Amino acid sequence: MADSNITAYENSMQDGIPLECYKFVYGSTTYLYTSDRFDVSLQVVTNGLTSTEHYTANYIKRNGIKPSSQGGDSAVTITVDKDNAVAALFKGSPPSKPVMLTVMRLHDQDHSVYDKVFVGEITQAAFQDSECTLTVKIENWLSRKLPNFMRQFFCCNIIYDASCRLHKADYAKEIYIDSVIALTVTSANLASYGDQYFAGGLMYYGEDVRMISSNVGTKLTLRYPFPTTPLGTVTIYPGCDGLFKTCAARFHNTLNFSGCPYVPPQKSNDAKVGNGVYWVDSSVVKRDTDGYVGTISM
């Protein structure tokens, strides 16, 4: 193992007694396990500060790490008991935040030195009999978010992202939940907002978040259920359908609108409102075929 802290033991056929420690991080919660027969304590230095992490002996194993080339993924599968706390995160709907894994390898003779052999994100979980197999991948350059700007009728931004420039905290609304049936949440507080105002938005309950598919009247529908039924007060944020009229009327954010209203949409009923070529709302902006000739009056 090149540039290893445990080379002396790793290359020894007689003295090597390898063991591994697995650190799972989900939001502010950390799960620490080891493949050794006994619990293991490691001295970890983070930002110049030394702390002790205690790894619990548990049923856990992995396959070989599979490196690849040309920008592909390096992947590893981790097998745990189906009742493991990390496996429980993947029962039902997927976790609302990434679950990251760090694998550290050391030898039983000396717990003061170790190597980080793998850092990645759990991308899927498969349950079979009494086991759960977790697939973990290293991010590669091909899997990163690529620019998606193109000449189209709808805005290319994702609401609240760096290009949209809206501050999510400015649009937070707190509602009190009256009832929850399956994916439908009912709250009298929603009556003061128009239909579909929160469609495409988000609901936060504790540390969990779910996307809102639609809302009509006092009811809204979630894309996936929460791990536990939301009760009391929750925070929700409005969504955006990518239309210029929504950007103008709801968010007053047309300076950051990245779509082209003159490009005809696939659905004609999204365009034929107001005056001008494929214009969306003559009360918001007036244009002609030579370009911008009016002012935004919202």
Rg (C-alpha) for the chain, rounded Å, is: 26
pLDDT band at 56 (very low <50, low <70, confident <90, very high): very high
Q: Where are the domains of the chain?
A: 7-143, 147-298
Eight-class DSSP state of 141: G
Quote the CA–CA distance of 246 and 153 in Å, as a whole number.
Answer: 13
Q: Which of 117-131, 135-149, 191-205, 234-248 has the lowest mean pLDDT?
A: 135-149
Query: How does pLDDT run across 57-114, given as a tens digit for each residue?
Result: 999 988 876 555 544 557 789 999 999 999 988 887 778 888 999 998 888 888 888 8
The β-bridge partners of 211 are: 202
% residues pLDDT > 70 (the chain): 75
Q: Which of 3-7, 37-41, 79-83 has the lowest mean pLDDT?
A: 3-7
The β-bridge partners of 25 are: 30, 100
CATH assignment of 7-143, given 1.10.10, 2.30.110, 2.20.28, 1.20.120? 2.30.110
Q: What tokens were used for 127?
A: 């349950």
Query: How does pLDDT run across 129-188, given as a tens digit for each residue?
Result: 899 999 988 765 555 565 666 777 788 888 998 889 999 999 999 999 999 998 999 999
